[in-house]
Amino acid sequence: MDPQSIGTALVEWFRVHHRTMPWRTNSTIYHRLVSEFMLQQTQVATVIPYFNRWIEKFPTLEALAMAPENDVAKAWEGLGYYARARNLHKTAQILVSQRRSFLGLWPQTISEWEKLPGVGHYTARALASIAQNQPIAVIDGNVIRVLCRLNAITQPFNSKDQALRFLDPLAQRYLPPDQSSAYNEAIMELGALICKPGTPLCGECPIANACLGYQNNLDLPHIPKFKKPTYVKKQIERIFLIQNDALLLHRASSKRLHRIYELPAHDIFPAGCLKEISFKQIGQIRRSIAKEHITEIIFEARDTTDNYLPENTTYIPLNQIHAITLSGPHRKWLNDCLKKHL
């Protein structure tokens, strides 16, 4: 089979076997834009309920552009990587202002898409090809796996970026004419459902006859090969401090958690400022972000000396905590913990 026939076989398989997803059912460019932002670093199953609530709240690009920043952050709460929400909001505002001046045109090229906040190499290609059917092959982790197995590529890669650069010219050869959108979704879907990480389901694969990895009986669960990433362990001490039925929270200024509330870190309090009388460990949160394994140890404090408050901290009444935007893991922990205080 030549590469384009393999691409066509994938499209035919996809038309019958694809999973239903809300951004596929109603596949406007706006729906695709929202889903591509949400799917960065996040699984489909997690994204679906967030996407449905988002579209109900912000049904159009214009509705999103006009929405207050706090509403946008709140709708994203729990999805993590909050810079995505901020960038999506800014992107909507830029597109709406441009559409007024440029007769409702969406970006027409990858480089126009890449000028928008939060639209990087992958997202620009996904939007141009999947949302606009431009002849561009998109490569994500699923596509890397399928292409490596299909072409019996066993060389190890140092990183995903290196694999992307290596596979880019090859990926382009599989695009069937005028079916870029369906092809890109098809090869990703094959990677998610059939050519899975671990043992692939080759008996159900529509391109098994053309697959060099399968035909040559290669060690498929170990293709592609990547050098193992090194994780760094990090520990953060957090403070849980309630005064007059209000909880002290810190509004983060980091790029990742921009303006999202979280329990304040111990190191933002000057030494000796926290009253140690009941300064005891009451909880622990573990999570992994990028290449960091993070453990957060939560200590309960009773008061600060002379009612001192570190910068960007504020007391939020306990009965209003549900209305603010909190970091997802802190919300989860607080939901359990505050039951005792409410």
Q: What is the distance, to the nearest Å, from the Cα of residue 279 to the centroid of all Cα atoms in its chain?
A: 36
Closest separation between CB of residue 186 and ligand SF4, Å?
12
Tell me the backbone φ, ψ of residue 278, rounded to 5 degrees: -130, 40
CB atoms within 10 A of CB 214: 20
Amino acid at 189: E
Place of tokens 């035909």: 215
Nearer Cβ to ligand SF4 (136/207): 207
Nearer Cβ to ligand SF4 (75/146): 146
Closest separation between CB of residue 191 and ligand SF4, Å?
8
CB atoms within 10 A of CB 277: 9
Interacting residues toward ligand SF4 by CB under 6 A: 146, 149-150, 194-195, 200, 202, 205, 207-208, 211, 213-214, 220
Report yes or no: 8 and 178 within 8 Å, Cβ to Cβ. Answer: no
Task: Retrieve residue 198's tokens.
Answer: 């671990």
105: left (phi over 0), alpha (psi -120 to 50) or beta: beta
Residue 50 to residue 171: CA distance in whole angstroms: 31
Q: Which residues contact 99 (CB under 8 A, 6 or more apart)?
A: 61, 105
Closest separation between CB of residue 185 and ligand SF4, Å?
16
Nearer Cβ to ligand SF4 (137/247): 137
Nearer Cβ to ligand SF4 (59/197): 197
Which residues are marked as active site?
A: 36
Closest separation between CB of residue 218 and ligand SF4, Å?
8
